[in-house]
Structure 1
Amino acid sequence: MVAVIKTGHSIHRIFNYNENKVKEGVAECIGAGNYLVDVEKMSGTMKLNRLLKQAALNENVTRNSVHVSLNFDASDTGLTKEKLMEIADTYMRKIGFGDQPYLVYQHFDAGHPHIHLVSVKVRADGSRIDTQNIGRNQSEKARREIEKSFGLVVADDRKKQEAFRLQLVDVRKVQYGRTDTRRAITNVLQAVLDKYRYTSLPELNAVLRQYNVLADRGGENSRVFKSGGLVYRVLDEQGNPIGVPIKASDIYSKPTLKFLETKFKGNEARRMLHRARVKNAVDMALLHKKTLPIEELVQALKKQGIDTILRKNEDGLLYGITYVDHRTGCVFNGSALGKAYSAKAIQERCSGKAVSAQELLQHPALKPGIELQSRPIVGTETKDAANDLHPAPLPSGTGNMLDVLMQPEQASDYVAGQLKRKRKKKKRKNLSNNQ
């Protein structure tokens, strides 16, 4: 047996995921723990509200949902509903969730038997259950004990455990006609939406396109666009939409445009700490090269875990560039990193054209008499951000570019306006003894 534990911010999402599987006929809710009514007599609202009410006892617990999958070897036989429920109850008790409300779903959409358990991290008294290292500690101990007591196939072999995990989390490219379209799109979105930090629809699509999926608003005159709607489409190997589009509202997690716009705002600040990694990777790849074909730059960045998506028009001319950093999960439109990383500048740098220091060093704006001010980076081209400071001129020759990159963010001779003001000396009056 292999156990995979995930925690999240949305109870609705994991509940709807399993309930939609039931509606599709590929899963069944076989039982529940610590509910007052048998699962057969409960509506979907009753199942969900029990979890929501307990989670509401402590609103400070933001990652309040728990989603566990217990996976069994294909050769494990005799796994009846009763036995699966017994295994689920034993497992939840051993990892410290025995008194929590939880739902148990048996899934039939994989090559091996497996069940999903949905619960919350908030106890009945409002305290939080600590899940730090729960997979490595409590879960592993519970797994070994359950395998022995229930006579299950032992999964101590690391390769066997990895085989289960890959079937659960590996997001394979969607191939239209070979798998259920909605289910395949849902699996891709489940892996991408929370993992990556994107601030616009084009940046999100830079990731989704790698899995033959597209988030599409339609043309400006289309009914979908005018109503603020969004559909998801499957793409063929040439990147062309095929088949019937799926409305965002028809997908269990409801990844609508309104939902994504909320993600855009939150991701703006979260990705800022990782801008330097992508910029440095580009600069180092071009550091000692007079000329470098852009295809080689793409390969060099790929070795650093960064995919470079080049957007070209029908004539093959490059007009846009997006960097997808898989290690940090951050997505950047070229201009969001600075003018020197936009499509036009990258083409010039690859051809050996010198780049000014102002284009390489993106300083925060300075205002006279005020300390350094930070400005948000937007996804469109900004031309004035680099002109607020006057850094040292770029040394001639690309070999000295490293010196420029290592310069401090603030010019050494800069002094805040308040410090430049001269003190006025007060004249001392001579006081005579006669006064």
Structure 2
Amino acid sequence: MVTIIKTSHSIRSILNYNENKVKAGVADCIGVGNYPVDVDKISDAMKLSRFTKRLELNENTKRNSVHISLNFDPSENHTKEKLIAIADTYMEKIGFGKQPYLVYQHYDAGHPHIHVVSINIEKDGKRIDLHHLGMRKSEPARKEIEEIFGLVKAEGRKKKEEFNLKPISMGKVLYGKIESKKALTNVLNQVLNEYKYSSLPELNAVLKQYNVLADRGSENSKVFLANGLVYRILDQQGKPIGVPIKASDFYFKPTLKFLREKFKENEIRRPFEKSRVKNTIDLALLREQVLSVNELAKMLEKEGIHTVFRRNSEGLLYGITYIDYTTKNVFNGSSLGKQYSAKAIEERCGFMIAGEEKRNQMYEKLPSIEFLIDKLEDQKNLLSIPDLVKVLDMLMHAEYSQDYIPNQLKNKRKKKQRRI
């Protein structure tokens, strides 16, 4: 079993995400925890009301909602009763056993999984600490549950991860406002809540993989001047198509104000999240087969990092963004450091190509060892034994030494001035 925990400041958006799945016919609400009625008698209003009334007890807590998914091996086929029992046991072990929660079974993935929705405000108004909840409580709980219910264990198994996003199938999207809005809602629900981005270009780098664009319009447009935002569907060539939809028209309000709050939250990243991308790029550039920025992108793709190049009308590269599908982080190149910006990456790749060509040209001009040996054979009668040894030593001497440092790179010691 694999567990994924997401925290949020909006229980409404989490609840709407799951309820929209139910309305689309790809999910069911199969269980409730600490609600006054059974799952078959509960209404949508009651689901939300139970959460909001509890949240009113502590309005100072920003991150007050949790969205947990419990994922099982594709070979497992559990009954609803067993899934509910697993969810109840899990919530008890992570300290949420007395909290109100809802359990949803989703059918829209290649493996069986359930989603659990809850809040961290207790009935006395105290807050359950969410810091390192996964490491502190979820991991031990997962291992115990695997043993108790005889589940396929997550550890020690080879997993083939699919890093590529599944873009919207444009053939299935009707370009009227209703169908377009439904398609956009599904994408925005996933991307806005799962990925970490700190600017609009970083967000759009992910959205464009789904053929979606968050658009402020031109600087003189009404949308831009009013601090507005619209979402557009893109065709296969990346051009807007259909009717744009205002951000305020979506139920979870992904407006520019909402995004700016997300930008601030996501500005601080864990050191590991940045270093993973930087180290992957550096290692790829150390390999000799990297000959261009496009080849570098292919190598990064194998490590789960998608590279987005931004070019002007003349084809010149002016921007680069990295999407890490493993940690769900998006980084503009310059935010990782100058050496990871578009210009620096192009120069680093270009330096390797130039260096390779220079070496090849140098070796082409040098006579071959076979040629020199033939010449030596002709002259051996004229050379003494010591001279012959010296010449052979020169021929067999290594062309390159790892200890060699060019004069220009050596640190010159400064001469100390004598005191008079």
Q: Same fold (TM over 0.5)?
A: yes
Q: 2:168 aligns with which of 171, 174, 177?
A: 174
Q: What residue in structure 2 maps to residue 421 of structure 1? A: none
Change over 3 Å in CA distance of 1:92–1:279 after alignment to 2: closer
- Mapped to 1, the partners of 2:287 and 2:40 lie a distance apart of 69
Change over 3 Å in CA distance of 1:138–1:226 after alignment to 2: same
- Mapped to 2, the partners of 1:97 and 1:268 lie a distance apart of 29
Structure 1 residue identity aligned to 2:240: P
- Mapped to 2, the partners of 1:342 and 1:34 lie a distance apart of 51
- SS of 1:193's equivalent in the other structure is helix
Correspondence 1:238 to 2:237: yes
Q: What residue in structure 2 maps to residue 138 of structure 1? A: 141
- Mapped to 1, the partners of 2:314 and 2:169 lie a distance apart of 28
Q: What residue in structure 1 maps to residue 391 of structure 2? A: none
> What stretches of structure 2 of length at least 5 have no aligned partner?
174-178, 353-404, 415-420
Change over 3 Å in CA distance of 1:26–1:295 after alignment to 2: closer
- Mapped to 1, the partners of 2:406 and 2:299 lie a distance apart of 19
- Mapped to 1, the partners of 2:212 and 2:408 lie a distance apart of 39
| More deviation, 10-19/70-79 | 70-79
Q: What residue in structure 1 maps to residue 21 of structure 2? A: 21
- Mapped to 2, the partners of 1:83 and 1:273 lie a distance apart of 37
* Higher helix proportion (structure 1 or 2): 2
> What stretches of structure 1 of length at least 5 have no aligned partner?
148-153, 354-397, 405-411, 413-435
- Mapped to 1, the partners of 2:29 and 2:262 lie a distance apart of 31
Correspondence 1:105 to 2:108: no
Structure 2 residue identity aligned to 1:320: G
- Mapped to 2, the partners of 1:274 and 1:403 lie a distance apart of 35
Structure 2 residue identity aligned to 1:213: V
Q: What residue in structure 1 maps to residue 123 of structure 2? A: 124
- SS of 1:319's equivalent in the other structure is strand
**Structure 1 residue 260: Cα displacement:** 0.9
- Mapped to 2, the partners of 1:188 and 1:402 lie a distance apart of 51
Q: Is contact 2:8-2:66 (8 Å) kept?
A: no
Deviations 1:340-362 (A, max 9, x none): 66545654555459xxxxxxxxx
Deviations 1:222-279 (A, max 9, x none): 5544443333334344323344545434555432221111222333344899777767
Structure 2 residue identity aligned to 1:8: T
- Write the mapping of 1:5-404 to structure 2, written as runs, cut at 5 A: 5-10=4-9, 11-37=11-37, 44-55=44-55, 57=57, 63-69=63-69, 76=77, 79=80, 88-89=87-88, 92-93=91-92, 96-109=95-108, 115-125=114-124, 126=126, 128=128, 131-133=133-135, 134-146=137-149, 154-156=151-153, 171-178=165-172, 185-186=184-185, 188-220=187-219, 222-251=221-250, 253-270=252-269, 293-299=292-298, 306-324=305-323, 330-336=329-335, 342-344=341-343, 346-347=345-346, 350-352=349-351
**Structure 1 residue 136: Cα displacement:** 3.0
Q: Is contact 1:176-1:242 (8 Å) kept?
A: no
- SS of 2:20's equivalent in the other structure is helix
- Mapped to 2, the partners of 1:296 and 1:144 lie a distance apart of 45
**Structure 1 residue 118: Cα displacement:** 1.6
**Structure 1 residue 313: Cα displacement:** 2.8
Aligned length: 349
**Structure 1 residue 112: Cα displacement:** 6.7
Q: Which protein has the larger Cα radius of gyration, Structure 1 or Structure 2?
A: 2
- SS of 1:316's equivalent in the other structure is coil
- Mapped to 1, the partners of 2:406 and 2:192 lie a distance apart of 40
**Structure 1 residue 19: Cα displacement:** 2.5
Q: Is contact 2:320-2:341 (8 Å) kept?
A: yes
Structure 2 residue identity aligned to 1:15: L
